[in-house]
Structures are given as structure tokens and as C-alpha cells.
Copies of this chain bind each other. A is one copy, B any other.
């Protein structure tokens, strides 16, 4: 490993000015604080040495070629909406923003694809698809994410139950390798067995293998109706046990979310949003998409029947797109509600086999109690991805909170592993979960990750210290002090 890296100096800046005009470069002292961290400052605050906005793959290539030769770390950045501390300059160096590479290049109606630059927002991509009468299904909630960010983190979201995750929509990737070479991973084809599936490896690699400069995404015909059902339950077990039954129907629900009643209290109290039912302990919200009114009626009626047979109190059908949207706006307010209701938050993003969700939720609550941490679970019940939110109340000092959340997370991860789950379902490892990775996947797999990283980036200059690290001895505090 070539650590310590070369510290950017006047000569380097002079070179970079031959690649990009000065107005798209900012030096260390003038870089805005928002670029020191992503949506989770808890997972790392680091000051870049140089901030550059690229507008073309040629610029990205030139910057990488020079950085490779001179051993300068580079971190590509989209909208900075990540939740793992991923797009931060942990070892200083260059923060390379791709947000000015934001063109929607082509919508291909015959091939049902859209080709875009990485800095286009997810909302812009979804809207462009929509105006062509098509549909881009992945929706991780944060629609101001850059599309490149969603690809490089393999963003998930609620609609994964029916439509899958971002990975399932990426047809082709154009990218710059650490040495500056511009390459293509696959092309606009539906099937491909031309050697190793590097496109699939790059998806979810969190900016540690290459820098995206263009992506081609699959679109599907747009559904015409989106309705939902709200299903109240006396007990969380019955609620969760309904999930496999819903998945055995002859059609697949778009989303199956699970909500605890305490969360609804919080959202009502802080955000003044109301939910159509309030007297139960646990709820499922189930979304359906269809192309005809007839079909959506059939879907929601059959699902309602399945839920009631499985022990639900009732099943309220939200029989219009508007009614459905209002229910989901409550679901969307969860994070904001919890932020308003606590001093600090930490999040566990495990995924477990779907039949084990109830076991996880119950055990997680007990683990939280042990550490004086309030635990709220907001489940993507349809795919076993349980966002276990840990809330700090005022009885915990900051120091206690830090050590207790760490101990609590360790137990939650061990629990997930015991239940056959994984460490992260959709937010990724980044910087925030890195300290838990090796324990979770084991030493041999960790070394395999390291080898794969070096196969792409033998100098470890691309977003170093994220997803995988080689520097066990560097103290986080030292890095924070940079």
C-alpha cells in the first residue's frame, strides 16, 4: 500500500488547472462544509484537499491518470445523500463531484432504456421515463440522490418486493478505472455472458473500483393504477406472519412495509400527519400496481382477504392513487419524526430471511433495552430489510450513547448473522459499518474483498478506506483530526 498518500501541492494544482478551469476547482480552505460528510456526519467528517467538478469522462480520465501516477486519493461524489459515510475524503485528496455531468442523453423507446450521466438526479430520471410513458422502478426514498450514486451503492427501497433493486435495472456502465482508462461494462443488451460479470461487481462497489461516467438503465411499461391496503394487527407476530402469505398470491405486491404504532404516535405528534387507523399495535401497508382498474380491484380485494384470514383486525383499501399516496407520505415521514423525537439517532440496516423478521424485531427490542436505547423498527417487511432505528433519549450522555450504540450494533449484527441475515440490506458499508464487516463476513472473505479491490485499484487511491480497508492500525481519531 502506498500510504501515506502524496499531499496535493501547488504543482499538482497547476496541472489540474490544465484539465479543468479554475471556476470548477476549490482548494481545501474554501471547500464548503457540506462536502465534508454525507447525510450521516456520524459516519465521518473529513476535509478534502481539493474539490473538482468534472463535466466529461475525458476530464475524469485525465484527473485519474495524474492521480494514479502521483498517488493521490480520489473520491467521486454524487448528491451526497448516502447513509454510510461513503462519499467522503477519509484520507484527504480530491473530492471529484460528478453533479455537473447530469444530462439525460437518450430515451430509447424500442429498447426500453434510458441513458444518463451519473449526476442526473433519480427524480429527473424517473420523471424523464414517465414523460416517455415508461417507468423506472427503483425508489430508495431519497429522490434527490444522483443516479450514479444509486447505481454505485445498488440502492434498494420499498418497491424492491415486486421490482427488485437498482442492480436489476442497470444494462450498461461506462466508467473510468483508477489508472484513467475509460472502459465499458456490458452494453445495451438484455443478456451477456462475455466473461466475468464485472458490471455486476461494479454495482454496489461504493466508488472503490471505478468512477461512473454514464449508465444505461432498463425501463418498463408504466403501471396505470397504484392502490394500497392498510392492515391493522393486535400483535406484531401475526402482522409479520402475513408477509409470506402475501408473497404466495399469484401476483406480487409492489411494497410490503411494517409500522409500529409508536412510530405513528411520533409522526402525529411532531409532524401533524394522520394515518387512517390508529388503534392497533402494528400495521402492514401493502402497495399494488396494475394496468387496469379491474386488475387493481382484484389485487387489493384478494390481498385484503389474505390478511384477514391471517388474523388482521381489518384491511382498509385505499382505492385511489391519491388515498394511497397519503398513506405512504406518513411512511416517508418516519425518519424525520424520529429525528424530532430524539437527541441523536443511529441506524442498523440488516436484512434477514423474510420468515425471521418477527424474531429479529423482538430480540432487537430486548437488546436495545439492555443498553437504555429506544429501538424503533421500520421494516421493508416484504424483503426482510429492517431499518432498526436506535434513538438517544436524554438520560444517556454522549459518551454512553456512543459506547452503548456500538455494543448494541454488535449484538444486532450477531443476531442478524445467527438468523441467516446480512450486515447491510441497502445502505452499504461505506465508512460507518466498516468496523463491523470483517467480523461479519469472516477473515477469508475479507481477504477476498481486499484482493478484488486491488485487482481494480492496486494503489488503493479510489475512495480509500471505504467498504474495505488495509490500514487496521490507523486510528479513526487521527483521521478525524486531519
Contact = CB atoms under 8 A, between A and B. Distances in A.
Interface of A: 108-112, 153-154, 156, 160-161, 164-165, 167-168, 177, 181, 183, 186-198, 200-201, 203-205, 220-221, 223-224, 244, 247-252, 291, 349, 351-355, 380, 382-385, 420-429, 437, 440-442, 444-445, 448-449, 451-456, 467-468
A240 to B, nearest CB: 11
Contacts of A221: 248-250, 252
A187 B352 CA distance: 9
Given A111-B354, A200-B201, A456-B448, A428 B193 contact: yes
A128 to B, nearest CB: 17
A194 B424 contact: yes
Contact of A455 (B109, B425, B448): B448
Contacts of A164: 168
5 contacts: A190-B383, A193-B427, A193-B429, A448-B455, A448-B456
Given A195-B467, A200-B203, A250-B291, 18 more contacts: A109-B248, A110-B244, A110-B354, A112-B247, A165-B191, A188-B420, A189-B351, A189-B352, A189-B421, A194-B424, A194-B429, A194-B437, A195-B429, A195-B449, A198-B449, A224-B250, A251-B291, A448-B455
A161 to B, nearest CB: 8
Contacts of A191: 156, 160, 165, 351, 380, 383-385, 425-426
Contact of A196 (B181, B188, B201): B201
Contacts of A454: 451, 455
A352 B186 CA distance: 11
Nearest to A354: B111
Q: Which of A186, A190, A423, A445 has the most CB of B within 10 A?
A: A190
A204 to B, nearest CB: 5
Given A197-B167, A437-B195, A451 B456 contact: yes
Nearest to A112: B247
A380 to B, nearest CB: 8
Nearest to A434: B195
Q: How many copies, total?
A: 2
B193 A197 contact: no
A331 to B, nearest CB: 18
Contacts of A442: 183
For the complex of A and B, list the 4 residue pairs with the smallest distance between their C-beta atoms, beginning with the closest.
A200-B200, A451-B455, A190-B383, A250-B291
B189 A353 contact: yes
Q: Which of A352, A353, A451 has the most CB of B within 10 A?
A: A353
B353 A188 contact: yes
B198 A204 contact: no
Given A187-B421, A201-B197, A455-B454, A351 B192 contact: yes
A226 to B, nearest CB: 14
Contacts of A112: 244, 247-248
A272 to B, nearest CB: 32
A421 B189 CA distance: 6
Nearest to A292: B250
A124 B177 CA distance: 43
Contacts of A449: 195-196, 198
Contact of A426 (B193, B353, B380): B193
A464 to B, nearest CB: 15
A47 B16 CA distance: 57
A285 to B, nearest CB: 18
A253 to B, nearest CB: 12
Nearest to A160: B191
A403 to B, nearest CB: 24
Contact of A354 (B190, B425, B453): B190
A343 to B, nearest CB: 28
A193 B154 contact: yes
Given A248-B112, A353-B111, A445-B183, A425 B192 contact: yes
